[in-house]
Amino acid sequence: MAMMNNYKPYSYTVAGKQTGVLPEMVRAVAQVMGVKAEITSVDFSSILTGLQAHRYDIGMGEYFVYQDRLQVADFVTEWSNYDSFIVSASSDYRPRTVADVCGRRIAVLVGSSGVPAMESGRAKCAASGAAAPQMRTYSMMSGAVLALTSNRVDAVLTGHEVGVALKQDGVAVRSSGRVGGGPTATAVSRGADTAGLPEAIAAAYRRLIADGAYKTIHTRWGTDYGVIDDPTVYRPGDTPPKYGE
């Protein structure tokens, strides 16, 4: 099991143990399936390549299911999310869409949905004759947040959950705007050893949804705004979900 770390509220380390909504959900899914989850901390950008190389069976990263990602792994949707701009609470900058990034320094996580969103923003700025944005990439969310709080970037474009967690921790930031959005998923390595695993994981999620444990976990971490009621398996050839802009 590959999972990113240093990314509240998804997954982070306390007293040597990974905690957060993803580790808690993984352990609940494993219990339903009657197995023990072995979690390995991996940078977000390395999870899918690790699955493709069969170093891991499952990757937890709340992935948007894009066509190019379906060439690498199978996916099981189990939540829904959208990106927001995280800005300093004292800043007058309040971006609403990617059209508002012109001339700004924006941090994104390597390999995340923020990268194509920023490319779209760059194109909009060029079309309007405005200054190009500076996209700054980070391998861990903690690095992107540090860049924001130390005034090295104007905003972090990332999942809405990051702003929720930072405010819960008392960090002086606020969320602004809504970019994209739709189902997010667990990634599963594709191979003979994992045949049927996506369906088994989907069944486990459905069990947790039915008995209320799924909602309880998300409520505890402030991520219940994105709960779903019908996990779906996506494989090559399937039409991926349509995401907002």
**Res. 171: pLDDT tops 90:** yes
82-181 placed in CATH 3.30.70.100: no
In whole angstroms, give the CA distance from residue 28 to residue 6: 21
**Res. 245: pLDDT tops 80:** no
Q: Hey, how many other C-beta atoms are within 10 angstroms of the C-beta on 66?
A: 15
Q: Shortest CA distance to 183 belongs to which of 137, 105, 115, 239?
A: 239
Q: Shortest CA distance to 201 belongs to which of 229, 174, 231?
A: 231
Pick one of 3.40.30.10, 3.40.190.10, 3.30.1640.10, 3.40.50.2000 as the CATH number of 2-80+182-234.
3.40.190.10
Phi, psi of 10 (to 5 degrees): -65, -60
3-state secondary structure of 234: strand
Domain ranges of the chain: 2-80+182-234, 82-181
The predicted-structure confidence for 64-109, as pLDDT tens digits, reads as follows 999 999 999 999 999 999 999 999 999 999 999 999 999 999 999 9
3-state class percentages of the chain: helix first, strand second, coil last, to nearest 5: 35, 25, 35
Q: Shortest CA distance to 71 belongs to which of 190, 231, 242, 198?
A: 190
In whole angstroms, give the CA distance from residue 84 to residue 75: 23
The pLDDT > 90 percentage for the chain reads 96
**Res. 204: pLDDT tops 90:** yes
Burial of residue 91 (CB within 10 Å: 0-12, 13-18, 19+) is middle
**Res. 236: pLDDT tops 80:** yes
> How confident is the prediction for the chain on average, in pLDDT?
96
**Res. 114: pLDDT tops 90:** yes
**Res. 118: pLDDT tops 90:** yes
Question: What is the secondary structure of 70-125 as a DSSP string?
Answer: GGT-EEEEEEEEEEEEEEETT------SGGG-TT-EEEEETTSTHHHHHHHHHHHH
Residue 78 confidence (pLDDT): 98
The predicted-structure confidence for 175-186, as pLDDT tens digits, reads as follows 999 999 999 999
Common-topology check for domains 2-80+182-234 and 82-181: yes
Q: Shortest CA distance to 162 belongs to which of 223, 115, 245?
A: 223
pTM for this one?
Answer: 0.86
